[in-house]
Amino acid sequence: MTGVDVSAGLGDAAFAEIEALFNERSVLCLRGQDLTEPQYIAFAKRFGMVEQIFMADYAHKSYPEIFLVSNIKENGRDIGHADAGSVWHTDMSYTDRPPRATLLYAVEVPVRDGVVLGDTTFASTAAAYDALPEETKERIEGLTVIHDVFGRRAKTGTHTQQDEARKNQPKVRHPFARTHPFTGRKCLYVSPGECIGIEGMSEDEAVPLINELAATIPEERFRHVHKWQAGDILIWDNCAVQHLASFDYKWPQERRLMWRMTVGGSATS
Ligand code: SIN
């Protein structure tokens, strides 16, 4: 979306237009922004309350609502979460009120030979649900999935950065197929990383079912690849899409710095 200047502040009608488009499309890019931290925070809050940042070490030092996603090191330490999004996932499904939206503002993007690297790819959980055979929809109707922050991913050792707050996060439960809180569409809400079981089902039966249906989400036909430009604000819907970051840039010389905010948590149904 072009022609929007977030730094100038948005009236209710302009924001309503953005919000309607966001609910319809699930991923929205506002290109060409030039924002201070307070301007960015004020815009993000239009989508809902700011969520707690778990990995507090990577919060912006002056504006702790902003979480830094970055491969930049200062004084030998990562300034931000360096491997965020390394597997397909939806943000913070391990909380009982997962965020409605995540915003990522591109402060610095890695460029090689004129090509911007570090794409983010999205897959529609709503389209994946719609494409399921009717008997599969019936099979998962009413099933409740158990989400655990380190879940099965912890066992495979792909998580490299953890923190105490997340380690103490209790297991939570969400529907296998969530009803989107704004559009009413059904969306598959499972990922192998966080989902450890299904209530009332043996692990031997639950895990293959989670894996099988989670694997349908990132199919090519449900995907969209975002090619970044510095100054993009990208907003994604955590019920309607999953996402995956790419790490095709060299560390530390090809610098990437994103300001991330997660907002608008609500109970699932
Ligand atoms: C994330 O998964 O939060 C970050 C995605 C990205 O950096 O592309």
Residue nearest to atom 2 of ligand 1 (CA): 85
Residue nearest to atom 1 of ligand 1 (CA): 85
pLDDT confidence of residue 157: 41
Q: How far apart, in whole angstroms, are the C-alpha atoms of residue 45 and residue 207? A: 36
Mention every residue, 6+ apart, whose C-beta is less than 8 A from residue 257: 68, 69, 70, 72, 79, 80, 106, 107, 108
pLDDT confidence of residue 252: 79
Residue (of 266, 224, 240) closest to 130 by Cα position: 240
Ligand 1 center–CA 261 separation, angstroms: 11
Q: Are 125 and 131 in contact (CB under 8 A)?
A: no
H/E element, 106: strand 101-108
Joined tokens for residue 244: 């995956």
pLDDT confidence of residue 155: 45
pLDDT confidence of residue 55: 85
pLDDT confidence of residue 165: 62
pLDDT confidence of residue 159: 42
pLDDT confidence of residue 224: 98
* Averaged pLDDT, groups of 10, the chain, 269 residues long: 89 96 97 97 97 88 96 93 92 95 98 97 98 98 94 51 66 97 97 94 97 98 98 98 96 93 95
pTM of the model: 0.94
DSSP string, 227-254: PP-TT-EEEEETTTEEEEE---S-TTTS
Mutational test site, ligand 1, from 258, 259, 261, 263, max ligand atoms within 8 Å of CB: 258
pLDDT confidence of residue 206: 97
pLDDT confidence of residue 158: 42
